[in-house]
Amino acid sequence: MQGNIGCLGARGDATAGTWGSSSSWTKQSVSFTTGSTGAVTVCLHGWCAQGTVYGDDKSVTS
């Protein structure tokens, strides 16, 4: 992740999140456990009016 205040999270059949801010590329990770459906959306978003947040090289491992 790179940019102003941003959140990397999971929602749906799991809920988790972590906030970060960095002027250079920084590795962010968040752990979560799914429920019975296993349907999860992984998301990266910025905080209201705090500038742009970038993300790349996303992966999900079990």
Confirm whether 59 is domain-assigned.
Answer: no
Confirm whether 61 is domain-assigned.
Answer: no
Confirm whether 60 is domain-assigned.
Answer: no
Angle at the Cα of 35 from the Cα atoms of 43 and 7, rounded to 5 degrees: 20
Confirm whether 18 is domain-assigned.
Answer: yes
Alpha-carbon span 57 to 33, nearest angstrom: 21
How many distinct structural domains can be found in the chain?
1
Confirm whether 44 is domain-assigned.
Answer: yes
Task: Identify the band that residue 61 occupies on the pLDDT scale cut at 50, 70 and 90.
Answer: confident
Q: Give the pTM.
A: 0.73
Confirm whether 16 is domain-assigned.
Answer: yes
Structure confidence by residue, pLDDT tens digits, 1-55: 899 899 999 999 998 999 999 999 998 999 998 988 989 998 888 888 888 899 9
Host domain of residue 25: 2-29+40-54
